[in-house]
Amino acid sequence: MSFLFAAILITAVIVLCFKAFIVIEKDEEAVIERFGSFNRVIGEGVHLIIPFFEKMHGIETPENHRLYLYNGKISLQKEFFEFPNDNREFFGKDKSNFKIKADVVYQITDPYKAVYETVYLFDALNQLFAGIIQKKLVDLSEGTDSFEFIQSFEDECVKIANDYSTNWGVKIWEFNLKQIVEANGIRHDFE
């Protein structure tokens, strides 16, 4: 009986040790909550947290709000996500429908804001770009397939998005338009 108790105790201590130490790599940070409230932001190195009282609060993945990117650690490197993350249609000045595919290159600059200023960061960014692009498509005129137009379109999207996303602790670096599909099936690739 005492051997079983000792084995259970040793197993519990090992599990607590694994949960107590967090290794944060270079270009990562983590937001630590104690009892569900913000406690601190930790940077590169090995850190000790109190198991069951403290936990990492990360950023949810674009596909699933129940999973955290990088197991709760927040990368400070440039990353990208695909826009839109749904089957959204946009409309032009003449009420014609468009579907758009693009990549957005972003970087988390303030982990605290990225976690707490929006409920779901990637949904907020998706809605932000959807609004910007819808406005641009309504203002769009014919003969806009030129490289110069596409480049200015992408640059304007980044500029407008950064006006809002800085409040969320995110810097937008690039908006890369990959494809526009018109309602009649005509596909414009920009890669």
Going residue by residue through the chain, which has 191 residues, state the pLDDT in tens, using 9 for 90 and above: 687 888 888 888 888 777 888 889 999 999 999 998 999 999 999 999 988 899 888 888 877 777 777 778 888 999 988 888 777 888 777 777 888 888 999 999 999 999 999 888 888 999 999 999 888 877 765 555 556 677 788 889 999 999 999 999 999 999 988 888 877 888 878 76
Indicate the DSSP class of residue 68: B
Measured CA to CA in angstroms, residue 10 lies from 4, 17, 136 at distances of: 10, 11, 62
- DSSP, collapsed to helix, strand or coil, labels residue 96 as coil
- How many H helices and E strands in the chain? 4, 11
The sign of the torsion formed by the CA atoms of 82, 83, 85, 89 equals: negative
Indicate the DSSP class of residue 186: -
- Side-chain-facing half-sphere of 87: CA atoms under 13 Å: 0
- Comparing CA positions, the residue from 124, 127, 117, 123 lying closest to residue 31 is 117
pTM of the full structure: 0.81
Q: Is the CATH number 1.10.10.60 carried by domain 77-189?
A: no
Kindly list the domain boundaries of the chain, sorted by start residue: 2-56, 77-189
